[in-house]
Chains A and B, each alone.
Chain A
Amino acid sequence: MATVSEHPEKAAAYIADRSRSRWHDGALWFVRSKRDRMAHSLPEWERLRSTASQIKAHTIANLPEILQQFEANAKARGVHVHWAADAQEHNEIVLEIIRKQNATRVVKSKSMLTEECHLNPHLEVNGIEVIDTDLGERIVQMRGERPSHIVLPAIHIKKEEVGETFAKYLGTEPGASDPQYLTEAARQHLRSKFLEAEVGITGVNFAIAETGGFVVCTNEGNADLGASLPRVHIACMGIEKLIPRLVDLSVFVRLLARSATGQPITTYTSHFHGPRPGCELHIVLVDNGRSRIRDSDEFRSALGCIRCGACMNTCPVFRRSGGHSYDAVVPGPIGSVLSPAADTKQHRSLPYACSLCGSCTDVCPVKIPLHHQLLTWRQQIASQGLLPVSKTAAMRAGSMLFQHPRIYALAGALGRRALRWLPKSWIYNRANPWGLDRDLPEPPVESFRSWWQTNRQGTSVDEGMKSKEAKNGK
């Protein structure tokens, strides 16, 4: 089992570099603003969201039937359909297809599923070269990192750093940082990889039960080159990627790019309904824990996620702490819901990487109640006894305090004096992790209780509030 990863510790390093944290925040806020402009430009936006949400809820409820319908229609179109219960089986299926071709060179476009299954390392140890062809993913791959965002994998990296990486691996001018120049170098490099590859792997944005086809959306055209040059195309998808009808695409295609990057549509929206003549098309349907999430009334709707990343772009915690602080394949609000479902203990801190501001829920194009689900996770994590002692001890102390008015009054009196007179080092130390990033407020001279006794004695609380409101002119 993987070690427990704590978000605050991982985030601390990123936040320590204040200018980088601010830069990251600004870059994502820019994307979020573009999303807002696009959402506001369509009067039917809310109608689209609720329709999308219902279509996904219907799909998830009827998943076994819809999967079988998809399989039958895909097979009728000459597609090979594979089923994988977990990540390992997925990786074995993909490797076997590649081996049957005697192939060693693979190009892969973005797929969070293959990331989740750790496909690249599996293929690499078996002697297969896998080149990520999305520019952001290629940059991250060369640097030996993981993507920090599901739509913008290299959003955490500055152009000067990309320049250094390309100088090292692609022989570009040392010190060059012009995005146009660097992109051109990557274009030349990746073209040679596209032409050499024997197999192309892509993800799937939407698979259509009614037609047995699927759709892949990119701006760069990398999935399209990877699927149209090599003889063999393998498409890997989670079982939740299905939609029932082709017309449903109209709803999702309109929502996806607008929510993701603020574009009206991605440059390429490719519909695959069968192999090219003389070629092979494989689809791998992967469960890997999805059916378990479907069992849960609380978290089921998270399977409707279309991986647009809007919740990350708007999240105040993600924007400042960077995607790597989540130590999960899918970071941000949706990742903080999905990751604990896969391994609650390992990801127990993620539902707390959230201010419950609700912005993620507001922007989600399929109306997943993300911040409610994060709150639910907190309750489940506490009831499973997975909270760190620092939190449980504080909660117990708080509970005791609020149940005993005399102790509460005494603690208040002590606190008011202590905060004023104690040296800072006594208040802000390791016993008070809360105080690491926050200043305690200036304590009032008297307590509310004593103020009440002096000014409002004899009146009930209700009357007192009324007279206060009248004074404030409410």
Chain B
Amino acid sequence: MGSKARDSRQAILDRLRSREVTPVELPAIFGDDSISQVAIGFDDPPTQFAGTVEAVGGLCLQVGSMQEALNKLEQDEVYRDAARRCSLVGDEIPGNVNLQEIEDPHDLSSLDFLIARAEFGVAENGAMWITDRDIRHRASLFITQHLALVVSRHSIISNMHQAYERIGQPETPFGVFIAGPSKTADIEQSLVLGAHGCRTLTVFLVDEPA
């Protein structure tokens, strides 16, 4: 493959260079206007965010503290029934699976509940940004039966332009926007929650510094 692949690389580039195409300037995202002038913004992004999370199939709970989040969790049947729980949000919420002790992500196949922290949330679509900075196995986000995400209400921004401004340049190999539980509509356009990823998504919109 080696030399042939190099040949193809050169062949493709040569082929592309053989045809001069009229240049087109790369536009600034909204020309001379600022994002806040053009893109949709919300007077109260956390409230809009909470509504959108529910619209995309998640459950959004507004809480004052992590203790309150734990209290809500303990009232939740899904959480109570979960045998294998993993918490990545600190000691306030305990877990019995430690990601750091797991070598192979396949061993997470029986994970019932994962609670993790998102860096920020986006009001226009209910998406939350999570990277693998503090998550040893990114598979845990997708393989868990149920997922809870904690996000500060002060981190909620209006739109995706602000989101990518905030991300800047990716420093870790993996980052994901998650909006709602896993879903499919591939059987006659009937919406079914829980395709391959989490069956439920609970969002704790917590009133603590971003």
Contact = CB atoms under 8 A, between A and B. Distances in A.
Contacts of B22: 61
Given A54-B27, A268-B178, A273-B170, A47 B187 contact: no
B197 A84 contact: no
B174 A58 contact: no
A219 interface: yes
B137 A51 contact: no
Contact of A300 (B15, B21, B143, B159): B21
Size range of the interface on A?
A: 35 or more
Contacts of B109: 191, 195
A192 to B, nearest CB: 9
Contacts of A96: 1
Interface stretch (A151-159, A390-398, A434-442, A454-462): A151-159
Contacts of A8: none
Interface string B96-133: 00000000011001000000000000101111000000
B16 A220 contact: no
A84 B8 contact: yes
B196 A263 contact: no
A68 B13 CA distance: 9
Contacts of B95: none
B185 A261 contact: yes
Nearest to A134: B186
A250 to B, nearest CB: 4
Interface residues of B, number: 75
A159 B187 contact: yes
Which A-B residue pairs are the 8 nearest by beta carbons?
Answer: A221-B197, A274-B173, A264-B125, A136-B186, A220-B195, A228-B139, A83-B9, A265-B125
Given A180-B192, A228-B137, 14 more contacts: A44-B30, A51-B30, A54-B25, A89-B5, A158-B188, A179-B187, A224-B197, A247-B164, A250-B164, A263-B125, A265-B126, A266-B179, A267-B56, A294-B21
Interface of B: 1, 4-5, 8-9, 11-13, 15-17, 19, 21-27, 29-30, 38-40, 52, 55-56, 105-106, 109, 122, 124-127, 137-139, 141-143, 159-161, 163-165, 167, 169-170, 172-190, 192, 194-198
Interface of A: 27, 30-31, 42-44, 47, 51, 54-55, 57-58, 60-64, 67-68, 77, 82-85, 89, 92-93, 96, 133-136, 139, 152-155, 157-159, 162, 179-180, 182-184, 186-187, 190-191, 194-195, 211, 213, 219-222, 224-225, 228-229, 239, 244-251, 253-254, 261, 263-276, 285, 287, 291, 294-295, 300
